[in-house]
Amino acid sequence: MQVVDTFERHTVKRLKSQQFNLLPFKTKRLIHHLAEAGHYGRDIFYKQNYIHNILIRDFLESVFKNISTEFKEDNKTLLSSFSNYLKLIWFHCGIHNDRTNEKHKANFTNDDLISISENALQTNPEHLEGLFSSDELVIINKIIFCPEFAQYKKTPHKEDDLLLKSSVNFYDGNISNKTFEEYFNNKYPKKDNSPQFGFNSNFYLNECGSIEERRWCANGMYSKEILNIIKELDLAKEFAENEEQAKSISTLIDFYKSGEPSDFDKHSLAWVEDKNSEIYYVNGFIEPYSDPKGIHCTYESILAIKDHTKSSRIETLCENADFFEEILPIDDKYRRTEVSGMSASASIVLSMSGDCAPATPLGICLPNSERIRENVGSKSVVFSNVGGGTSAADEAEVHEFMENTSLANEVVKLAGAASEIHTDLHELLGHGSGRLAKGKSIKDLDDLYSIIEETRADLVGLYFIRNPRIYELGLLSNIAEANAYYQHYITNGLIYQLKRVEPGKTITQTHMRNRHLISSWAIAKDTKSEAIRVSSVRNKKFFTVTNHDKLQEIFGDMLFEIQRIKSEGDYVAAKALIESYGTTIDQTHHKEVLERYKTINYSIFTGFLTPQYRMVADSSGVLDDIVSETYNDFVEEQLALSEKYRA
């Protein structure tokens, strides 16, 4: 894929989705309106990440667009630092890094900002004069130049109050973790078959000091954005491929209008039952990763079309789901007696917004409701045109961090195919397997649920990727591919992903924590060093998988315990595992890793430009086509998105 921009170890590529131009007009209309619905929720995600994200983005964009050409020519280094800071905010949809949860650092001074702003004001006084109040300018200055102000989206410090010390915009800044837990447990006691509460509302203190909720719905919070989403969904429904898809869209509209969690369950059920549509879409409040409590779900939208060539392997896995469930290395009482309602496919991404843009997930398994998954089923999709994202490693990295050239060549040549199958296994069998003990809820794991669930899904994939059935089904050609992936996975968990963590810091992002937990825990369980050799050559540390059978056995033992923790809601055990293996980094090792990375030209994050869909009329003004267009660069795209879909 064509690289269109690089900045601060970030890479932006042009997303390939030529299939759109070959579609019938009706399908193009459906895609257009679903994509528009997705984009209208873009600013919801910004606001969820931090209350002043739109303010800081508007200010920086207003200044950036009005800087004089002469000033740009005379201050190229300064303008590069300024534009890179703005690009970071666009890429991470706010002032905080999506992986570390830390606030972006500006490589320019307050005096520099004053100089840039004054030039923009002189260039276009009619547009900028009085656009921002003095109070807003004070907040903007604090955001950019005060390190302690809104320092973390989610605090990484276990001794901190989860809510008071996090800047994510789900809770009033005066609500403590203890106060919220007392309120939530009294307001929403655990009951079997109850919907997910609190995932689409902000909690705040009223004048009497009591907690109240503002729901995200048509007549509540984010109403302007949601009304635009509803308008486009209404139009999309007219061009639905079938009755099941139309029902899925209709129930989503009902949820957006009411804000009732039970209505979202109705939508989730309808969405799961839509198994035959070519167009795959997700729109709504989906993932809880950004909430310190794991309750609120961030807005995301993704739109894709079925990739028939690559879907066959996913469908093969789906057909064999019962076989794999029966041999999962878990306690029988936590095993599903029958895997039903599961469907899966590979799809080509056509549009993304919110929590899916510009960095797009490799796959999705939904709904997240454990009750619906166990009793009705789930739908998994792997996105076939967005590989090479944040968990990938460049060839130069592989050669630097493998013990010898032969092993590096093996990983480069073979691990890619197994990586794709691991993603399939993770999304389909990982998230779709196992069950909770009677009377237990995912809320028993509180803020740790997402980490445990991602760890469990990864372990399912790691354990099964070497199973003979995978080769009998033709999903991989030989076990050497899986062995190479074992090497890649362990190195990624212990080395590659550490490039995203600053010296002296801990790991805070959910997926990074789960990979580090698995890799570190595997070494701890490998007491006789039978599976992984830890060596030092020329003062460089290496982790080399030497016995793949033994490592697979270790993964199975780990999966047994992780499934028990999830099924029983064992918060104490989950906390001990995550703190021991998933969060803390050996600082000597980390320093060495970062030193070695100084010699490598690498990227930490990969994102994609979003295709846009434009209506085309004939000479008489009658709509006769819709065309797919992609902006020329990241700056042009982001400015256009802010202008068109501004809340």
pLDDT in tens, 22-64: 899 999 999 999 999 999 999 999 999 999 999 999 999 999 9
DSSP output for 451-514: HHHHHHHHHHHHHHTT-HHHHHTTSSS-HHHHHHHHHHHHHHHHTGGGGGS-TT----SHHHHH
Residues 146, 242 share a domain: no
Q: What is the predicted pLDDT for the residue at 397?
A: 93
Encoded tokens for 538: 């020329």
Find the length of the chain.
647
Residue 108 has pLDDT above 50, yes or no: yes
Residues 234, 139 share a domain: no
Q: What is the pLDDT of residues 192-231, one digit of tens each?
A: 667 889 999 999 999 999 999 999 999 999 999 999 999 9
Residues 154, 235 share a domain: no
φ/ψ of residue 14, rounded to 5: -90, 125
Residue 136 has pLDDT above 80, yes or no: yes
**Band (339; pLDDT cuts 50, 70, 90):** confident
Q: What is the predicted pLDDT for the residue at 57?
A: 98
Residue 292 placed within a domain = yes
Q: What is the predicted pLDDT for the residue at 619?
A: 85
Mean pLDDT, residues 157-184: 94
Residue 370 placed within a domain = yes
Residues 392, 279 share a domain: yes
Distance CA 576, CA 151 (A): 26
The one-letter amino acid at 443: K
**Band (338; pLDDT cuts 50, 70, 90):** confident
Residue 478 has pLDDT above 50, yes or no: yes
Distance CA 52, CA 223 (A): 18
**Is there a cis peptide before residue 367, judged by omega within 30 degrees of 0?**
yes
Residues 271, 411 share a domain: yes
Residue 484 placed within a domain = yes
Residues 405, 517 share a domain: yes
**Band (158; pLDDT cuts 50, 70, 90):** confident
Residues 272, 135 share a domain: no
Distance CA 156, CA 40 (A): 31
Q: What percent of the chain has pLDDT over 90?
A: 85
Residues 330, 407 share a domain: yes
How many folded domains does the chain comprise? 2
Residues 235, 90 share a domain: no
Mean pLDDT, residues 552-578: 97
CATH code (residue 283):
3.30.540.30
Residue 294 has pLDDT above 70, yes or no: yes
Residue 323 placed within a domain = yes
Mean pLDDT, residues 88-93: 98
Residues 385, 504 share a domain: yes
Residue 360 placed within a domain = yes
Residues 271, 149 share a domain: no
Q: What is the predicted pLDDT for the residue at 442?
A: 86
Domain end among 118, 135, 158: 158
Residue 10 placed within a domain = no
Residue 2 placed within a domain = no
Q: What is the predicted pLDDT for the residue at 492?
A: 97
Query: For 404, how many CA atoms within 13 A lie in the half-sphere containing its CB?
Result: 4
Residue 612 placed within a domain = no
Mean pLDDT, residues 141-168: 95
Residues 407, 331 share a domain: yes
Residue 389 has pLDDT above 60, yes or no: no
E strands, 500-633, in order: 532-537, 540-545, 605-609, 612-617, 623-629
**Band (391; pLDDT cuts 50, 70, 90):** very low
- Residue closest to 437 by CA, chosen among 390, 520, 374, 527: 374
Residue 388 has pLDDT above 60, yes or no: no
Q: The domain containing residue 64 runs over which residues?
A: 42-158
